[in-house]
């Protein structure tokens, strides 16, 4: 690929979209749920997922090409990569992230129109999401952050005198939880939209952080925000279009 012997668009425009959809179908249709590290007949896999044998084979061959499964004649088994990321039995699986990407693909269908207009033809993504889509979004953020929140928090220097932190668009609050763990004087407030509270509360309970981390359901673009803040954590709020002008407004509201 680095010598451009195979035209880049061939891979860029086809394979990532194809494998994205194949991963989505494997999880959504519970094809992945039928697999383990032991080989199993495609007939059995298809029956377990209640899909056609030819369909299961197509998806599994695609996963084989990307190293998620091994194929032996008409049998398939997870590779380590497949088990880790796709199995419901894997504690660090990436299933919610895959399902969330599958949901995002819908938005790509109106990309041309969005670029022409400079905004989405209808309402914004967050306004359109139903309860299930909020769950996918929030759990996808948990899938990603779980891979790095300890390392990221370890790289953030916190002054010994800092007490109050706002985690803007903090979602699950994993970064706040870890920062408060490392800095016991710190109290963090996660600011996010109301549907996210459930997932933040879940993480706060999981890591027994209720003494130091709380969730405030609010829209940081419209609502009043707590004042007297020592630290603002703002990680990946680009989704809601936070630019320098809006950032100045938010800083003004918080009084920093």
Ligand X SMILES: C[S@@+](CC[C@H](N)C(=O)[O-])C[C@H]1O[C@@H](n2cnc3c(N)ncnc32)[C@H](O)[C@@H]1O
196 vs 171: CA distance, rounded Å:
6
Contact range with ligand X by CB under 6 A, out of 9-17, 116-124, 180-188, 236-244: 236-244
49 vs 27: CA distance, rounded Å:
10
Asked whether the beta carbons of 208 and 177 are under 8 A apart, the reply is: no
237 binds ligand X (CB under 6 A): yes
Contact range with ligand X by CB under 6 A, out of 39-47, 101-109, 235-243, 245-253: 235-243
156 binds ligand X (CB under 6 A): no
Output 74 or 251, the one with its CB closest to ligand X: 251
Output 27 or 237, the one with its CB closest to ligand X: 237
- x/- letters, 77..116, toward ligand X (CB under 6 A): ----------------------------------------
Choosing from 219, 227, 249, 256, the residue that interacts with ligand X (CB under 6 A) is 219
**Helical segments of the chain, H only:** 8-10, 16-28, 42-49, 53-65, 80-86, 95-108, 111-117, 125-128, 131-146, 149-155, 174-182, 197-206, 244-254
Choosing from 239, 248, 251, 256, the residue that interacts with ligand X (CB under 6 A) is 239
- Coil, strand, or helix at residue 54? helix
User: Is 178 exposed, middle or buried, given 0-12, 13-18 or 19+ CB atoms closer than 10 A?
Assistant: buried
- x/- letters, 168..197, toward ligand X (CB under 6 A): -xxx-------------------xxx--x-
221 binds ligand X (CB under 6 A): yes
42 vs 56: CA distance, rounded Å:
7
E strand or H helix at 214:
strand 213-217
Minimum distance between the CB of residue 62 and ligand X, rounded to whole angstroms?
28
Kindly identify the residues of this chain, within the stretch 115-144, that bind ligand X according to CB under 6 A: 126, 141
Residues that bind ligand X (CB under 6 A): 126, 141, 145, 169-171, 191-193, 196, 219-221, 235-237, 239-240
């Amino acid at each position: 690929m680095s010598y451009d012997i195979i035209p880049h668009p061939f891979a860029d425009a086809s394979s990532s979209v194809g494998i994205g959809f194949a991963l989505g179908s494997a999880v959504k249709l519970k094809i992945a749920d039928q697999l383990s590290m032991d080989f199993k007949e495609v007939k059995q896999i298809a029956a377990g997922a209640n899909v056609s044998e030819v369909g299961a084979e197509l998806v599994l061959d695609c996963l084989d090409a990307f190293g998620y499964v091994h194929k032996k004649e008409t049998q398939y088994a997870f590779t380590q990569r497949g088990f880790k990321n796709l199995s419901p039995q894997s504690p660090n699986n990436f299933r919610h992230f895959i399902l969330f990407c599958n949901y995002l693909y819908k938005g790509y269908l109106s990309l041309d129109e969005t670029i022409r207009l400079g905004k989405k033809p209808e309402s914004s993504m967050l306004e359109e999401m139903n309860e299930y889509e909020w769950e996918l979004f929030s759990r996808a953020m948990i899938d990603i952050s779980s891979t790095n929140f300890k390392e990221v928090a370890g790289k953030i220097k916190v002054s010994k005198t800092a007490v109050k932190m706002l985690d803007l668009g903090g979602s699950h609050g994993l970064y706040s939880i870890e920062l408060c763990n490392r800095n016991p004087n710190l109290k963090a407030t996660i600011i996010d939209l109301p549907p996210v509270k459930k997932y933040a509360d879940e993480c706060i309970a999981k890591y027994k952080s209720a003494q130091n981390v709380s969730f405030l359901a609010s829209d940081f673009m419209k609502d009043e925000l707590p004042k007297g803040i020592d630290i603002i954590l703002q990680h990946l709020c680009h989704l809601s279009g936070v630019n320098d002008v809006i950032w100045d407004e938010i800083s003004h509201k918080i009084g920093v």
